[in-house]
A and B are shown apart, each in its own frame.
Chain A
Amino acid sequence: MDVLLRIGGDMNLHAVPWLELGLISPVLGAALAARCRDARAGWRIAFSSSGAAFACSLLAWAGHIALAARGEPSPPGVIDRLSGVRIFGLDEMTGPLLPFVALLHLLIVAGTTGGKAARLSFGSLLALESVNLAAFAAIHPQVLAGLLALGTVVPVFELSSRGRSIRLYSAHMGIFLLLLGLGLGVGHREGYATTLAWVPLTVAVLIRCGIAPFHLWIGDLFSRGAFGTAILVVTPMTGVLAAVRLLVPVCPDAALEPLGALSLVTAVYAAGLAVVQVEVRRFMACLCIGNTALVLTGISLGSEIGVTAALGLWISAGIALTGAAFALRAAESRIGVITLVEFRGLYSRAPALAVCFLSAGLATVGFPGTLGLLPLEVLIERAVAANILIGPAIAIAIALNGFAILRAYAIVFTGRPHASVIPLSVTQRERFTVLALALLVFVGGVLPQPLLDSRQEAARALIEQRARHSPATPIPVPRDPDR
């Protein structure tokens, strides 16, 4: 954080519209990649534009930190000036989330090799990145809702192009969009967060987050869609973004309680399902559902420390889940569809992938020395303070996830060495991803304070927003992002 502050202070970063550049680069990349027929060239375009988006979003965050430290508001961006309304910007909540989302996309693109690169549409991957980044940078509720709606479209194309049924996915997303529109429309028409506004918004958030009983679409997407796309639809936890931007600031406590209760049940349920899975993709889907549910559980606690832990978990779990999914996806690209039934013996062929899966997987359960330790510890501690039954339930969910991860590791990576006539060791691109993930997981685990500090500021801002907009007060207008 200090490094970013120094960079931001020294370089007069706000003179350059880094945020807009970060948003535009995947759009340009998507346009170029869509016209490109060569997989190798497509990968180069995708990697360059994802890398540029990550670098720009990092610089935008540094600029935001520098301005916030001086107490100055950030000047409106190019898009804001053209439209006359503040549409995009960074604030305490989304400052680190933007580079986080860009990083997830960059890692998945970087780790896409061989057969996967030939089959995957880099154009749609970059389109998804554009929409995700724009959603995380959006501060105007209607614009955010529009981007959330747009984000549901890419998987539809993806599933359709593979000849898979889109019924389940589109039914869930259709209801999500309907309820989102209803919640925002009613809320804005009446100017208050009435029951008519927050009930549909709550259900919309539950659907988008994949909270039981609205979670089937995630398993379906993982099973039938492209693995890479499914990871990038789920791991940034866009549903949680909808919750913290559209629901939590305005909803009454009565909405948070069922949200928390359902999320907690989902966390335990998904962890139990992960233990008995026989398909690696559904196993990954269960892990994602469980972790998203834990984040929502923390947010619903309402206390500053609890929300801080949940927001920290959002980032740590996002990175860790992407790492674990990346390793499984790379394993799948080598030996085809993986079932969690017989030992596949991939360790001897690609030990780096095994280490990546294990370390990232253990980070999702807060193993010591990894990025996930502190957010989960603090979350359980605050949960116990809120209600003595919540803490044990979270601990049980984490314990089950821990077992499920080691079981999956054992089945995929151990056993008699996988027989192959072609080399299956990691490629340079994959090694880059593995090292980047390991660095994030372990360095973040040893130095967790900056992450928690930044998340505490966001939690404080969220709680202040809630205090300002109690149920009897209007839904917030777009706020100045740098205040």
Chain B
Amino acid sequence: MPDIAQVISTLAVMVAAAPLILMIGVGGSALIGQPPGEPATARLIRMTVSVSLICAVGIFVGMLATGDRHVVLDLGEWVSIRAHEGGHDHVYPFRVKLIFDRLSIPFLVLSLILCGTIGAFAVRYMHRETGFDRFFVLYAMFMLGIVLASVAGTIETLLVGWELVGLSSALLVAFFHERPAPVRNGLRVWVIFRVSDTALVMAAILIHHSLGSGEFERLVGAEAWPGGRASVSSGELLAIGLLIILAAACKSALVPFSGWLPRAMEGPTPSSAVFYGALSVHLGAYLLLRVGPLLDESPALSSIVVVLGLSTALYAYVTASVQTDIKSALSFASLAQVGIIVAEIGLGWRFIPLVHILGHGFLRTLQFLRAPTLLQDYRHLENALGERLPRGAGIGARVFTPRLRTWLYRFALERGYIESLLAEYVGKPFVRLFRWFDRLERNAIDSFGGGESASSTEDGRIASDRR
């Protein structure tokens, strides 16, 4: 009879394998031009999510039975390059390790329950919608990404999940791609996620450089979460920590990267529920929890996290107050909670933010899924009450002067001017600089080889001088 450790290992492999099968099944069939159709897609989703969830719960039960709170499944080196140079052995290992502990199991179970719920909802919501297959390819990519990110035991594995979540999110925001607005918003989301990916890649490389491996156990110790101790020098710790905070801030839409969140409203409601309400927006906070020992070692890093969290919460609260559509209001409300969660992490708490993530994730998913029927819900409530729902004046009306209230209102309406500041001082100078280079090149080509090339103008229009 197999021992419990063996059973847990098998279950752990199946946790990650099930979403992979879903991705291959849905994506592969779409690639060869033979999409599986709505009923088969629904069955495949039910099956894979159920298998993954049952296995995750099985691991949890196994851990309770054995008393082991930190199960590491080493799937070995996916890729390894070894070289002997200058009298030293150099190794590049890409190790695939999965960690099941008090952090990853709850987040994994949350992810799978919500993915299953959203999957079941979306099968009906997207029924006969153009792009049904495309939606579920992206859904499968998202689910694979979030599962990998949840149980990643190495920074490389986390990075794979992180990038899958990023791309699927951006493409889902641009899902209704017949209209330009969702596509433009998807591109904005993608820009922020690329910054996040790049920061995480740099952090991964620095970790490799410092420790010779990207394993979290090497970085924060092999103690069961939330224990552990950073094993890098203070300078490296600061650099790695700052890069991870940047990656987390972009992914969780913390200030000043919050601009993508309302833009992401363009996606279908099921994807909004998954991203802004429940999972994607919490991924940054999850990463901070995973590297908690780094924050514990550095008051500077902890302070930055607290400031980021509180400023995000405040900003989101103020901005949410003036939103006029339910999805935007919910997304900013979500952000306010994420800000508080991040501040809690910065203050050194570990279990409170984890519980906060779980509770917030479930609540917000429900709210997002109910969002399309909000007016009907209000009508039911008011019918039941027999009167209009009460609308009290906010705290601002009692505390702030009219002048300050006006300023705050404008600030909130313009979403803190954050996006326009970033566009003005980062985006536009970049575009201007490279358009200038481009013009120089075209002029050089035209003057040397005859004027045939098209040139870009400031507003991105093409000024053609083709002959």
Given known A-B contacts A224-B452, A392-B202, A415 and B195 have beta carbons under 8 A apart: no
CA distance A203 to B374 in the complex (A): 67
Complex CA–CA separation, A392 to B202 (angstroms): 7
Task: Select which of A273, A352, A380, A385 is within 8 A of B438 by beta carbon.
Answer: A273
Chain B contacts with A in 430-466, Cβ cutoff 8 A:
430-431, 433-435, 437-438, 441, 444-445, 448-450, 452-456, 460-462
Bitwise, B340-381 to A at CB < 8 A (1) or not (0) is 000000000000000000000000000000000000000000
Which of A276, A378, A413, A438 has the most chain B CB atoms inside 10 A of its CB?
A276
**Chain B, interface residues (CB within 8 Å), range:** 35 or more
Q: Does A472 touch B at the CB level, under 8 Å?
A: no
Q: How many A-B residue pairs have CB under 8 A?
A: 163
Given A398-B198, A399-B198, CB of A381 within 8 Å of CB of B438 = no
Say yes or no: A435 contacts B31, CB within 8 Å. yes
* Given contacts A276-B438, A377-B94, A381-B205, A223 and B452 within 8 Å (CB-CB): yes
Q: Determine whether the beta carbon of B205 is less than 8 Å from that of A384.
A: yes
Contacts of B313 in A (CB 8 A): none
Q: What distance in Å separates the Cβ of A342 from its nearest Cβ neighbour in chain B?
A: 9
Contact of B79 among A224, A275, A374, A382 (CB under 8 A): A374
A273/B434 in contact, CB under 8 A: yes
Q: Which residues of A contact B170 (CB under 8 A)?
A: 406
Which among A1-9, A126-134, A165-173 touches the partner chain?
Answer: A165-173
Q: Is B178 interfacial (CB-CB < 8 Å)? A: yes
Alpha-carbon distance A282/B430, docked complex (angstroms)? 19
B124 contacts the other chain (CB 8 A)? no
Q: Tell me the complex Cα distance, A269–B433, Å.
A: 11
Q: Binary interface profile of A, 412-429, with partner B (CB < 8 Å = 1, else 0)?
A: 011111000000000000
Q: Are B441 and A219 in contact (CB under 8 A)?
A: yes
Please pick, from A166, A167, A380, A406, the residue contacting B190 in the complex, using a CB distance under 8 A: A406
B51 interface hit (Cβ, 8 Å): no
The majority secondary structure among interface residues of chain B is helix
Within 8 A of A (CB), among B275-290: none
B167 lies within 8 A of A367 (CB): yes
A residues near B437, Cβ cutoff 8 Å:
269, 272-273
CA distance A341 to B458 in the complex (A): 12
CA distance in complex: A163, B433 (Å): 33
Q: Is B65 an interface residue (CB 8 A)?
A: no
B261 on the A face (CB < 8 A): no
Contact A384 B206 (CB under 8 A): yes
Tell me if A347 is interfacial: C-beta within 8 Å of chain B.
yes
Any B CB within 8 A of the CB of A304: yes
Q: A343-B183, A416-B178 are in contact. Are A171 and B209 (CB under 8 A)?
A: no
Chain A residues in 8 Å Cβ range of B461:
278, 341
Report which of B78, B178, B438 forms a contact with A417, defined as CB distance below 8 A.
B178
Please, which residues of chain A bring their CB within 8 A of the CB of B431?
275-276
Chain A neighbourhood of B438, CB < 8 A: 273, 276-277
Contact with A along B84-113 (1 / 0, CB 8 A): 010000101010000000000000000000
23 contacting pairs across A/B (C-beta < 8 A):
A216-B444, A216-B448, A278-B455, A278-B462, A305-B81, A308-B83, A339-B462, A341-B462, A362-B167, A377-B94, A378-B92, A381-B209, A391-B202, A396-B198, A403-B191, A403-B194, A406-B190, A410-B187, A414-B183, A415-B178, A452-B81, A456-B83, A460-B83
What are the 5 tightest A-B residue pairs by CB atom distance, in nearest-first order?
A414-B177, A168-B449, A304-B83, A368-B160, A165-B450
Extra 9 A-B pairs, beta carbons < 8 Å, given A167-B449, A223-B445, A435-B31? A167-B450, A272-B430, A303-B90, A339-B462, A355-B30, A368-B159, A374-B94, A381-B92, A438-B31
